[in-house]
Amino acid sequence: MTGVPVAVDPVVADPVGGGPREAARGGLPVLGRAVRTGQARFGLALLAAVGLLVVVGPFVAPHAPDAIVGRPLAGPGGEFPLGTDILGRDVLSRLLHGGVHLTWMAVLAAALGVLLGCVVGLTAAYRGGVVDAVLMRAMDVLLSFPEIVFVLLFVSVLGRGTLLTSVLVGVAFTPGVSRVVRGAALPVIGSEHVLWARANGLPAGRVLLREVLPGVISPLMVEAGMRLVWAVSAIASLSYLGFGIAPPGADWGLMVGENQDGLAIAPLPVLAPVALILMVALGGNLVAESVARSVGRTEGRV
């Protein structure tokens, strides 16, 4: 500690919980409480199963993901447990290779969105006045583009790329996160201990990190959880539209797009990646919801 005689953190001052301060309590206790529910455990199990597949998959795949090994759209059985895709590549091998990009892209996008949203939201709330107005109107401008359209706008000019796509999704998430952070930070910034810290001339960065951020950590965790789920959805959709990883590569969203025309003949090349995306969405959503519930957000507000 830097010798700042911070008044007792009001968050710690109420260890019993309940009451309005319940929502302000964050960090590990909340996460711990969240994962103890059956719902969250089921979600975590789903995520762990898919995670294992993503991590181990590339090492146990029987074929290279882009190798043409058989006739197109062969049914399951024999050498190809899930059949072959529209170009004659092994569906199982592509499935085992195809989650890596989705995972890191979604994590990067969500992390970037939460980070940028925090910076903008906290700055706007702390500075107030003109800075607040300008920042939040700028966020309104970004918010006017549906996420996918926003990404397409830049991809059209800058060319496509996995890194670019995930950064753009992160930027597209920023306004939503910044609104939540700003809303949660305003009462904290108006509280006595923050006013005290500001009056004593502590640098803004330190006040925000030490005093304000802990007060908004609960809504932030809820937001981060939901953003991660939405990032999976957005990245998978962009990949499906053809704006993720380049074609010979394997990716679940891309696999769905590639094999859609063969759906009537061979459903597995489409339905297998669809099932995995469904598992991620279901698992992630169950976990994110139980975090939200343990933080005390009312139901129904997504």
Partner 1 sequence: MPTPTTRTRAPRRGSPPAPARRLLRRLLIGVLVLLLVSLLLFLVTQALPGDVARIVLGKDATADQVADLRQRLGLDQPLVAQYWNWLSGMLTGQMGTSLENGEPVADVVGPRIFNSFALGFGSMVLIIPIAVVVGVATAHRRDSALDKAFVAVSSLFTALPAFVVGMLLIALFATSVLDVLPGVSTIPPGDLPWWYPAELVLPITTLTLMGVMYLGRLVRASFIDAMNSEYVQMAVLKGLSGRRVLFRHALPNALAAGLPAAGLVAAVTITGVVVVEYVYSYPGLGTAVVSAVNSHDLPVMQAGILVLATAYYAFNLLADVLAVVGRNR
Please, which residues bridge with residue 37 across strands? none
- The token pair that represents 248 in the structure block: 């010979």
d(CA 178, CA 115): 9
String of DSSP letters for 243-277? -SS-TTS--HHHHHHHHGGGTTT--HHHHHHHHHH
Please, which residues bridge with residue 90 across strands? 84
With CB under 8 A as the contact rule, the residue among 285, 291, 294, 295 that binds partner 1 is: 285
With CB under 8 A as the contact rule, the residue among 90, 211, 251, 289 that binds partner 1 is: 289
Does 10 bind partner 1 (CB under 8 A)? Our answer is no
Phi (first) and psi of residue 89, to 5 degrees: -95, 155
d(CA 159, CA 157): 6
CB 294 to partner 1: min, Å: 15
CB 97 to partner 1: min, Å: 20
| 113 in Cβ contact with 169 (< 8 Å) | yes
Q: Which is nearer to partner 1, 135 or 188 (CB)?
A: 135
Does 223 bind partner 1 (CB under 8 A)? Our answer is no
Does 200 bind partner 1 (CB under 8 A)? Our answer is no
Does 6 bind partner 1 (CB under 8 A)? Our answer is no
Residue count, binding to partner 1 (CB under 8 A): 51
With CB under 8 A as the contact rule, the residue among 234, 245, 250, 272 that binds partner 1 is: 234
Q: Which is nearer to partner 1, 154 or 196 (CB)?
A: 154
d(CA 176, CA 147): 11
- Taking CB under 8 A as the rule, which mask of x and - marks residues 145-184 in contact with partner 1? xxxxx--xxxxxxxx-------------------------
With CB under 8 A as the contact rule, the residue among 49, 53, 241, 296 that binds partner 1 is: 241
DSSP 77: B
- Taking CB under 8 A as the rule, which mask of x and - marks residues 126-145 in contact with partner 1? -----------xx-xx-xxx
d(CA 145, CA 159): 19
CB 177 to partner 1: min, Å: 16
Its sign, for the CA torsion 252, 258, 259, 261, is positive
Does 42 bind partner 1 (CB under 8 A)? Our answer is no
Contacts of 292 (CB under 8 A, 6+ apart): 222, 225, 226
Q: Which is nearer to partner 1, 215 or 257 (CB)?
A: 257
3-state SS class at 144? coil
- The token pair that represents 225 in the structure block: 């959880």
Does 258 bind partner 1 (CB under 8 A)? Our answer is no
CB 243 to partner 1: min, Å: 8
| N- to C-terminal Cα separation, the chain | 37
Does 100 bind partner 1 (CB under 8 A)? Our answer is no
Which residues sit at the interface with partner 1, rule CB under 8 A? 137-138, 140-141, 143-149, 152-159, 229-230, 232-234, 236-237, 240-243, 253, 256, 260, 263-264, 267, 270-271, 274, 277-278, 281-282, 284-285, 289, 298-302
